[in-house]
Structure 1
């Protein structure tokens, strides 16, 4: 693989923490942190100076859990609401008012949190679909790559994939990729009428040409090796500004994206930082299987995204589905 041998150290995600620390600690609404992972997921990045957590949920059970786990809440603010649905609605409204600049999922169901986020009264809608983006570094590959959508959209249609592409491009901008190269991944690199993912890839590439997707270079369909390996792209004679050096991978559906994500983490020793894009604030979705490193890196990524949106809002405006 034609990757720069010096790249692994410079491309690792550890630097996200330093970038996040350079920003004033971000007020982050932590929604219903009623288990140990959720509470630790909020307080670990707080100790690293990344966020000022605002715990939204029933105060007495949160304090009881902290005592049981011997966690010192100190002066951490708690917004007392009775249940998960109320916590999600309250946190979303706080984000809409600018009281918090990011959200983190606690121990409630993802659907409950995202349902509150997309309600009109929350004031967080952009007109684009919400989608999950993972910034990944694998030592075996040697450079950062963004993967979407491994967690939210099950079988996205063409319009949904347009929003998934746009959200991933905006995340790439936030982490310093000025013109991200986006690969629409399929099993082959040619358009085939019996393979819907190849038709979507070709359509999305043309939509980018027509500025229905902005801020990046989009090409597809591309098979995975043709998207990320310059040698494979040369051998297959793929003529494309994206082939071999993709910054963003857009999978055909949640099955493909989720499998790729977990292969990176559990079989290739990858680092990951994840957040949900498409709302006016970044949203961190924690998982029981996430390592402490992934939780902290994801919080750092949310800080970087929120700061980028604050500093350069025009950079994150683009076509919407409304």
Structure 2
């Protein structure tokens, strides 16, 4: 494909995203200053159609991009539209005012939905990619303890423990000291091996309680159901029913956390922004959408975030927003460490 045909494809994508109407050769020739006649543009559009980059939705209409056309458009983007200075200040101020991790995630997902006008999805920092900052053990009664796990990303997990034998305050303090000595500062992925030795390292009279505590900690660290996501902007889909064809299955899929985890959290710790268009999405309900995702975290990736919308979306603006918000959230988590 020569540069002029690429310019014509860009014009088709940009005009279709802007107007939501099929694009004709005359409009491109007069509005995009390509320096060629409408007949030449028409010939280029015929070549693009034969090559599968654009299509005619119905007779006597202009052309619209195909998934293949969007893919080339994204791959050959010359520049990403940055957020304005006012937008950057507003984003920084809004996210910096968050009080805790839940607030950070909730503000982030609402902000992404507002900036992109798409459905936003944000994964909470994964336990498997976090480090234990502190463990608190609180005595709630003679036979009950509250375990609080705090990670370096600000994530907090709580568990209640019930025992048959009475636990006094001295036992609670001793166990709290022991588990912090062994686990504080350790990656959670290494916790199971450390915990397997914990009961034997406690005093004989505490081993029964330490065994119960170890079991609860393992449940907290290994339970994949504790991976959580937040969603905002589902109402934005109602404005794009036609491009997505059927919005109901998509809305139902967005209610399933495991589906969302597969959607935005690809295997590994990929930090690069990823754009999956149409059939590039493995999940059937999302084969008529575009999913833009990226990793975030203080140094290493601890979670993913992104947006879901129609293939007819503002790609430069969406990519810029997802990248910028991920960077701000990473900076906040770094400062809070």
Question: Does TM-score exceed 0.5, indicating one fold?
Answer: no
- TM (norm. structure 1) is 0.27
- TM (norm. structure 2) is 0.26
Q: Which has the higher helix share?
A: 2
